[in-house]
């Protein structure tokens, strides 16, 4: 409890500073403005954030590096409206949910490639590092009209860094708690019409026990991750552009089982993923632009059940089911999209497009092997965007998908916003429908899958206000959201003749459930002091989300959804060469099981990152995770790291050959 009072003390005193600093004249303010971030995911066209009529959050490369964040999921833990759950420490399965939805209702893209699993429906963020990432866009609320299936809760769109300027090379080395060792190198730059950025990294750690060691688990579960990411771009004649993106990782992690719970010896998951993405953009006239996207994501997951399983509650040991018979799941996701943007006049832009999407999955070995199964779709979509005098903004869109396994799905979306320039106030609202297609497992898993299962559907509404004051030094945002989910797929005992094996007689997925979520979101960003002695910059950013969930069949709360979540980040830069960030995260009480069972206590965690620029070429840093050694569980039974200290050094050099574009 002591650390909570310390943080509150600092927070209250820091808040007193704006009363003085806002009143002071700052000669450095004149003529200096921060550029408005450009967002693509909300409309599929690049527009400034101030014109976006959806609830959006953007993480930049600079913000990720200031915190020395290793994985994307660490940033999403601090994001608004998201809930993150990870099975233990590094490498443990991690998924993300938005606004009360499930992880299967969150669509994740990396450089235009859909990376949600064809078999499970969600994306495991555990192995995705922040290496070479330029931007993460999080769009909350149903986005199926533009992005198709699985975007009922929202979209997380991740973009790889583009090479710019003179040829640069760099490397980093980090060592820390749990014998953690990370190292890597990168090369980037541009010359004439060509630009590129490539990075290689490796991460090794002895880790922690995936099942909480305080419950009696003794085996440390090691983790290893190789990662390569690259982006190659070329400027083409007549303002065209081609980009090719590639990301690969090979990761291995030892895990445990929540059944019991149990400490499992030599239980291991190995994952190898290849992600390819290519985009060709070409203006055809001064009012018509075409973009063609082709992408492929393929993942092989090898699961070895281990050699010995010890139940921590009873102490009994046994050989794990399937021991000696590892299984390998292979999934592939292909996407082809042709998008045309027509600027009809200064007020109206029309977007029309076609998408082909194909997902395949197969399982070799194990107790339930199955051959390759395919879920594919053809879709057409259209959207109109309105911008009247940079004050009134609106979008209206519709989409129709046709699937090979269940038929049609039609969705639509309308949004609106009004910017009061005189007060820098933006009002925004949206209403949309969404759907989630059944997964390969739900359709075809042996002795379980139900070929008659239909897609899930949703309705989504939100309204919000964004306010900027004091020449951009104070930003406040608040809003309300509401979601209704119907035809949700749930595994129950049904009259359908699908479940006849180990799952139990007639147990299979059917569309029987419905749910409702609603809540409030708030954000504040305060630049409290700038260009003062020993305070180059002092900035506070905070967000709070209240999410009320209800299973409309039972009136219970949805599992693994805390009502209250909040985060605070205090950035302090005393001089040009030094900066520090203190991050505080609070997650309220939740239920791990259905029927309001298996409660998981609330927790709060504080992280600290300090960076020191030794010179233009070298930077040293220290990161302390879980500064006050909080004992907590994100998921019942699974452990989380205690206080962890990491130190590293980065080197960046301009190479003596090559040059930037003029």
274 — pLDDT class (breaks 50, 70, 90): very high
Query: pLDDT per residue over 552-584, tens digit each?
Result: 999 999 999 999 999 999 999 999 999 999 999
For residue 590 the two structure tokens come to 């939740």
492 — pLDDT class (breaks 50, 70, 90): confident
Whole-number mean pLDDT of the chain?
A: 91
Query: pLDDT per residue over 254-267, tens digit each?
Result: 999 998 899 999 99
94 assigned to some structural domain: yes
Percent of the chain with pLDDT over 70: 92
Contacts of 128 (CB under 8 A, 6+ apart): 71, 72, 73, 110, 158, 249
11 — pLDDT class (breaks 50, 70, 90): very low
Q: What is the pLDDT of residue 13?
A: 46
Query: pLDDT per residue over 209-261, tens digit each?
Result: 999 999 999 889 999 999 999 999 999 999 999 999 999 999 999 999 998 89
Query: Is the dihedral angle over the CA atoms 489, 491, 497, 499 positive or is it negative?
Result: positive
Residue 186 DSSP class: E
pLDDT at 309 over 80: yes
658 — pLDDT class (breaks 50, 70, 90): low
What gap in Å lies between CA 456 and CA 512, rounded to an integer?
10
Taking CA atoms, 180 is separated from 91, 507, 630, 639, 648, in Å, by: 13, 44, 20, 17, 11
User: Of 490, 551, 466, 549, nearest to 99 (Cα)?
Assistant: 549
What gap in Å lies between CA 459 and CA 431, rounded to an integer?
7
Residue 505: how many CB atoms within 10 A of its CB? 10
pLDDT at 286 over 90: yes
Query: pLDDT per residue over 328-378, tens digit each?
Result: 999 999 999 999 999 999 999 999 999 999 999 999 877 678 899 999 999
34 assigned to some structural domain: no
Taking CA atoms, 442 is separated from 98, 225, 298, 447, in Å, by: 22, 30, 20, 11
33 assigned to some structural domain: no
Q: Are the C-beta atoms of 326 and 299 separated by less than 8 Å?
A: no
Helix (H) and strand (E) counts for the chain?
5, 36
What gap in Å lies between CA 152 and CA 106, rounded to an integer?
7
Looking at mean pLDDT, say which of 196-205, 365-374, 438-447 comes out highest. 196-205
Mean pLDDT confidence for 462-482:
96
Mean pLDDT confidence for 440-467:
94
Q: What is the pLDDT of residue 494?
A: 62
Question: H helices within 447-605, ranges in order?
Answer: none
Phi, psi of 410 (to 5 degrees): -120, 130
Mean pLDDT confidence for 525-552:
96
Query: pLDDT per residue over 586-644, tens digit each?
Result: 999 999 998 999 999 999 999 999 999 999 999 999 999 999 999 999 999 999 999 99
pLDDT at 426 over 70: yes
Q: What is the pLDDT of residue 321?
A: 86
Q: Any idea which residue has 């018509």 for tokens? A: 288
Q: What is the pLDDT of residue 8?
A: 44
pLDDT at 472 over 80: yes
Q: Any idea which residue has 């500064």 for tokens? A: 627
Mean pLDDT confidence for 171-200:
97
Mean pLDDT confidence for 633-662:
86
- The pTM (predicted TM-score) of the whole model is 0.93
Q: CA-based Rg of the chain, rounded to a whole angstrom?
A: 25
For residue 588 the two structure tokens come to 């309220």
Mean pLDDT confidence for 319-325:
87
Q: 382-410 burial string, b = 16+ CB within 10 Å, else e?
A: ebbbebeeeeebbbebbbebebebbeebe
Q: Indicate which CATH number applies to the domain containing 600.
A: 2.40.170.20
What gap in Å lies between CA 440 and CA 361, rounded to an integer?
7
pLDDT at 7 over 90: no
199 assigned to some structural domain: yes
Q: What is the tally of structural domains in the chain?
A: 1
- Measured in whole angstroms, how far is the alpha carbon of residue 348 from the centre of its chain? 31
Contacts of 550 (CB under 8 A, 6+ apart): 515, 516, 517, 556, 557, 558
Q: Which residue has the higher pLDDT, 18 or 207?
A: 207
Length of the chain: 662
Give the least confident one: 2-11, 40-49, 61-70, 462-471: 2-11
C-alpha atoms less than 13 angstroms from C-alpha of 107 in its C-beta half-sphere: 29
Q: Are the C-beta atoms of 205 and 627 separated by less than 8 Å?
A: no
36 assigned to some structural domain: no
Q: Are the C-beta atoms of 449 and 442 separated by less than 8 Å?
A: yes
Q: Which domain holds residue 138?
A: 2-26+42-654
Q: What is the pLDDT of residue 20?
A: 37
Q: What is the pLDDT of residue 447?
A: 82
659 assigned to some structural domain: no
pLDDT at 10 over 90: no
What gap in Å lies between CA 366 and CA 329, rounded to an integer?
10
Q: What is the pLDDT of residue 493?
A: 72
35 assigned to some structural domain: no
SS (H, E, C) 183-228: EEEEEEEEECCEEEEEEEEEEEECCCCCECHHHCCCCCCCEEEEEE
What gap in Å lies between CA 225 and CA 298, rounded to an integer?
17
138 assigned to some structural domain: yes
142 — pLDDT class (breaks 50, 70, 90): very high
pLDDT at 302 over 60: yes
pLDDT at 427 over 60: yes
């Amino acid at each position: 409890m002591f650390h909570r009072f310390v943080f509150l003390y600092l927070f209250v005193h820091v808040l007193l500073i704006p009363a003085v600093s806002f009143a002071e004249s700052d000669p450095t303010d004149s003529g200096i403005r921060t550029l408005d971030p450009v967002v693509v995911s909300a409309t599929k066209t690049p527009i400034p954030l101030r014109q976006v009529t959806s609830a959006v959050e953007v993480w930049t490369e600079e913000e990720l590096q200031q915190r020395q964040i290793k994985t994307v999921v660490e940033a999403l833990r601090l994001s608004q409206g998201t809930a993150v759950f990870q099975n233990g420490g590094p490498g443990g399965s991690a998924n993300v949910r938005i606004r009360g939805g499930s992880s299967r209702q969150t669509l994740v893209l990396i450089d235009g490639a859909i990376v949600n699993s064809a078999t499970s429906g969600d994306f495991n963020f555990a192995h995705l590092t922040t290496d070479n990432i330029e931007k993460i866009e999080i769009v909350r609320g149903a986005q199926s009209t533009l992005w198709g299936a699985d975007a009922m809760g929202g979209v997380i769109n991740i973009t790889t860094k583009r090479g710019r300027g003179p040829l640069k090379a760099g490397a980093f080395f980090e060592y820390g708690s749990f014998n953690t060792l990370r190292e890597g190198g990168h090369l980037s730059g541009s010359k004439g019409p060509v630009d590129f950025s490539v990075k290689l990294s490796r991460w090794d750690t002895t880790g922690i026990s995936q099942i909480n060691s305080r419950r009696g688990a003794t085996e440390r579960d090691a983790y290893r991750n190789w990662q390569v990411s690259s982006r190659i771009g070329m400027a083409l004649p007549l303002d065209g552009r081609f980009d090719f993106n590639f990301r690969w990782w090979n990761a291995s992690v030892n895990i445990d089982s929540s059944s019991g719970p149990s400490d499992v010896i030599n239980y291991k998951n190995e994952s190898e993923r290849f992600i390819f993405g290519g985009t060709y953009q070409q203006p055809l006239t001064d009012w018509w632009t075409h973009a063609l996207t082709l992408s492929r994501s393929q993942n092989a997951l090898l699961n070895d059940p281990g050699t010995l399983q010890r139940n921590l509650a009873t102490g009994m040991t046994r050989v794990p089911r399937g021991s000696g018979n590892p299984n390998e799941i292979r999934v592939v996701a292909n996407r082809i999209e042709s998008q045309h943007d027509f600027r009809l006049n200064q007020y109206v832009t029309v977007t029309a497009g076609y998408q082909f999407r194909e997902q395949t999955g197969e399982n070799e070995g194990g107790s339930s092997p199955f051959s390759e199964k395919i879920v594919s779709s053809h879709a057409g979509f259209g959207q109109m965007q309105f911008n009247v005098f940079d004050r009134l903004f609106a979008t209206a869109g519709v989409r129709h998908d046709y699937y090979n396994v269940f038929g049609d799905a039609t969705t639509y979306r309308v949004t609106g916003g009004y910017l009061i320039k005189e007060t820098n106030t933006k009002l925004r609202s949206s209403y949309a429908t969404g759907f989630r297609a059944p997964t390969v497992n739900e359709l075809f898993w042996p002795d379980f899958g139900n070929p008659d299962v239909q897609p899930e559907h949703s309705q989504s509404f939100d309204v919000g206000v964004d306010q900027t004051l004091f020449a951009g030094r104070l930003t406040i945002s608040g809003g309300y959201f509401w979601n209704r989910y119907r035809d949700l797929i749930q595994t129950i005992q049904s009259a359908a003749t699908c479940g006849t094996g180990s799952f139990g007689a007639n147990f299979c997925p059917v569309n029987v459930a419905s749910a409702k979520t609603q809540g409030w979101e708030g954000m504040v960003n305060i630049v409290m002091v700038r260009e003062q002695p020993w305070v180059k910059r002092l900035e506070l950013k905070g967000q709070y989300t209240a999410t009320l969930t209800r299973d409309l069949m039972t009136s219970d709360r949805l599992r693994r959804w805390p009502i209250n979540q909040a985060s605070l980040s205090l950035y302090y830069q005393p001089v040009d060469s030094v900066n520090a960030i203190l991050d505080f995260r609070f997650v309220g009480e939740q239920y791990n099981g259905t029927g309001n069972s298996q409660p998981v206590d609330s927790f709060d965690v504080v992280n600290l990152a300090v960076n020191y620029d030794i010179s233009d070429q070298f930077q040293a840093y220290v990161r302390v995770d879980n500064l006050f050694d909080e004992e907590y569980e994100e998921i019942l039974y699974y452990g989380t790291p205690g206080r962890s200290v990491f130190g590293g050094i980065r080197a960046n050099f301009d190479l003596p050959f090559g040059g930037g574009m003029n």
